[in-house]
Amino acid sequence: MLNVALPKGRLGNKAYKLFEKIGFDCNEMLDDSRKLVFENKEKGIRYFLVKPSDVPVYVLHGAADVGVVGKDILLESNASVYELLDLGFGKCKICVAAHKDFHDNTNTTLRVATKFLNIASNYYNSINRNIEIIKLNGSIELAPITGLSDVIVDIVETGNTLMENNLKIIHEIIPISARLIANKSSFQFKNDIIEKLKKSCEEALNDKNI
């Protein structure tokens, strides 16, 4: 059995559609249920539905052999797993954004609101900028509007949330998309099936007819 951790939600649905196309279908997945484990014994596949930020945890500890996760979560987790493939969907970017009228005063400590603590710290370390991180869990855009922070480090997809809240992009830190990841031991011991999965995904993503 190959154990696959999929993130609950849109990204997980897209990933499952891809796996279904390459022969790792599992009809149970299409049922509207509260189940978290779905398997197709014939195809030798078992899917776990997990919270997106927990995908690297399941894969790191080998509870799942492979997983699908956004590059943002992967970077933030710092998990020692193999990143096998850029799946190309779930595209967005991690940006620094601030109020439209914001001007940086480099003599002061910059207050940065974010849920991406590592990504934000690494970025500001790389440019030697003194910051104070304010950890939030959501609605990050509210921080500069209310005066809680000077800037935010957050996901930008369409840009609508920024626009509707009078915020602007100051800097694009990194482009993001979904990645196929593997547990390091699983990659060794289940190499044939994991390589097959990777190759089939690559072919399916390249084939515009699929």
CB of 142 to ligand PRP, least distance (A): 9
Among 7, 154, 167, 187, which residue interacts with ligand PRP (rule: CB under 6 A)? 154
Residue 94: φ, ψ to 5° = -95, 125
- Residue 140, CA distances (Å) to 22, 88, 152, 164 in order: 38, 25, 7, 13
Among 32, 103, 127, 138, which residue interacts with ligand PRP (rule: CB under 6 A)? 138
| Cα(167)–Cα(160) distance, integer angstroms | 10
Cβ nearer to ligand PRP, comparing 115 with 190: 115
Asked if residue 140 binds ligand PRP (CB under 6 A), the reply is yes
CB of 164 to ligand PRP, least distance (A): 8
Among 89, 159, 170, 202, which residue interacts with ligand PRP (rule: CB under 6 A)? 159
CB of 90 to ligand PRP, least distance (A): 12
Asked if residue 141 binds ligand PRP (CB under 6 A), the reply is yes
Cβ nearer to ligand PRP, comparing 65 with 154: 154
* Cα 190 to the center of its chain, rounded Å: 24
Tokens (6 digits) for 43: 């195809």
Among 105, 106, 107, 160, which residue interacts with ligand PRP (rule: CB under 6 A)? 160
3-state secondary structure of 144: helix
CB of 181 to ligand PRP, least distance (A): 21
* Cα 198 to the center of its chain, rounded Å: 18
**Cβ distance 9 to 25 under 8 Å?**
no
Residue 63: φ, ψ to 5° = -65, -30
* Residues near ligand PRP (CB under 6 A): 138-141, 154-161
